[in-house]
Chains A and B, each alone.
Chain A
């Protein structure tokens, strides 16, 4: 494909507000279809669900088990508790989500620093790559997050001088731990991505590893790094939520997920508030990486050889 035929294609893809609008409309339609399916089943399904043998394969349709979708939405704007000073549910959820987002962001940043540093070491020394990469790939396939409850015990037991280990740090450690693996792998792939022609060009310029890294390898790694950062961000959020639950940390969204679910027998719609909160949380984390990608879009161009 020549550049002449491709360039207009790129332009077309960027400037098409109508198509963008249609995409959003379809997305909203998809969500409406899901909500309609929920309501339809609730209307038609047996109230005790569908039970085959001992296993219930379709849920109960009582208001307790499956509140109406509009009740879930309406509940967001009611106060959290009956007390007169209580915040509306959405605000409470948003505040908790912000706490979790902050911890996840800390974990994500730590994950980036550690992951990128490891990727640099593996790029620089082949032996390091051979020694570490199999473990990194392997650890992505096993449920390492299982150790989250064990980290709970770190809280308030580690003290170094004036520094005392806080609960949120345990959560951040787990979040960073989950974020680090995809980032290390993606960064390594990206740092190794320059073609021979580009590395040889750098060699003909007589520049060393460091300048090659800054001018060639790091810019070239960005198209690989961005999906890794997005995956890392999603992982950090998941890690933070799970770690909040398993360490019992107060204040974040993980805590109210459990707490409101415990009140579901009296207030079934309330439990959906933090679920919507975690959905927004995940989207916000991935969305900020998308913004980063838009800023760095010139680094995502690919070379085209006619």
Chain B
């Protein structure tokens, strides 16, 4: 990967953000091997917003962790902007946000957002400026000196998103970042996320188990099915992505059509739920 030709003219944007080819992932557990993922092929273009959706156990978080190089695939390859996942991690090509905010409780909001910059040796002045920008972007400028335990859950999650954006990554990985929030906060955060993505032009891989959330946010929704985890169907959305239009979108026909399409894809994927559970219990 270090052999990559010098192409200063072509920005990373022309390369696909993520390419997953023929990926399998098996875990060895005490009760034997578990196939978490089999035969995954997926390409995420630069600037594209895709969601991974499916019932628990379908491996959607595992897939995201492979892209983040938090786990390694058993077979197949994962490339991020044309490099190996590991190299992309070391080069800080992506930002990540988890279901929990994961803020360091002893650091102020500003110090939490500045953490990746600090770790990678940014100067104090650059850091202050960038942290100011980011807090503006997520609307938390007044809270820079607060500590995480003084913030609500939604605010903590916004800090985590600001932190993920700190180094202007071209790829954002998000693992159910709004999963623990109440519905109202959640909708507001979704709108804000869309605005931020439009501003930064980053590609997003977004793990969720909420159909409306996936439809509302994504250019394409990747529907996955469990045992073994695989891609059931990729549903393109093609909704109006004008940020000014974002709130109205929730009540539009096209939005509900998208929800229906994803729901149908999900239901054809999994066997009748009671049957599957019955087999397992016996």
Contacts and interface: CB of A to CB of B under 8 A. Distances in A.
Contacts of A200: 70, 98
B148 A303 contact: yes
Contacts of B151: 3
A101 B73 CA distance: 58
Interface stretch (B102-110, B132-140, B225-233, B242-250): B102-110
A205 B119 contact: yes
Chain B interface size range? 20 to 34
Contacts of A279: none
A206 B156 contact: no
B100 to A, nearest CB: 5
B150 A197 contact: no
Contact of B149 (A203, A205, A299, A301): A301
Contacts of A205: 92, 115-116, 119-120
Interface in A1-47: 2-4, 6-7, 10
B89 A197 contact: no
Chain B interface, DSSP helix/strand/loop, else mixed: loop
A10 B105 CA distance: 14
A295 to B, nearest CB: 13
Nearest to B65: A200
Contacts of B156: 3, 305-306
A162 interface: no
Residue among A3, A198, A211, A300 with most chain B CB within 10 A: A3
A216 B118 CA distance: 13
B106 A299 contact: yes
A288 to B, nearest CB: 21
A204 B102 contact: no
Interface in B65-97: 68-70, 89-92, 94, 96
A212 to B, nearest CB: 9
A222 B104 CA distance: 13
Contact of B104 (A10, A198, A203, A211): A198
Given A3-B153, A7-B150, A301-B148, A306 B106 contact: no
B148 A304 contact: yes
B104 A219 contact: yes
Nearest to A197: B102
B119 A211 contact: yes
Nearest to A296: B106
B180 A306 contact: yes
B105 A203 contact: no
Contact of B152 (A3, A195, A201): A3
B154 interface: yes
B101 interface: yes
A74 to B, nearest CB: 49
A206 B104 contact: no
A302 B149 contact: yes
A82 interface: no
B68 A204 contact: yes
A207 interface: yes
B256 interface: no
Nearest to A222: B106
Residue among B91, B118, B148 with most chain A CB within 10 A: B148
A298 interface: yes
A215 B105 contact: no
A6 B153 contact: no
B181 interface: yes
Nearest to B185: A306
B180 A305 contact: yes
Given A3-B151, A3-B156, A306-B156, A298 B106 contact: yes
B103 A3 contact: no
Interface string A262-287: 00000000000000000000000000
A7 B149 contact: yes
Nearest to B101: A305
Contact of A302 (B102, B105, B154): B105
Contacts of A305: 100-101, 153, 156, 180
Contacts of B89: 203-204, 206
Given A201-B102, A301-B106, A6 B149 contact: yes
B159 to A, nearest CB: 11
A203 B118 CA distance: 15
Contacts of B96: 201, 204
A140 B115 CA distance: 39
Contacts of A211: 119
Interface of A: 2-4, 6-7, 10, 195, 197-198, 200-201, 203-207, 211, 215-216, 219-220, 222, 298-306
24 contacts: A2-B153, A3-B151, A3-B156, A200-B70, A201-B102, A203-B70, A204-B69, A204-B94, A204-B96, A205-B115, A206-B90, A206-B91, A206-B92, A207-B119, A215-B118, A219-B104, A220-B104, A301-B148, A301-B149, A303-B105, A303-B148, A303-B149, A306-B153, A306-B154
Given A2-B153, A195-B100, A201-B96, 4 more contacts: A3-B152, A301-B106, A305-B156, A306-B181
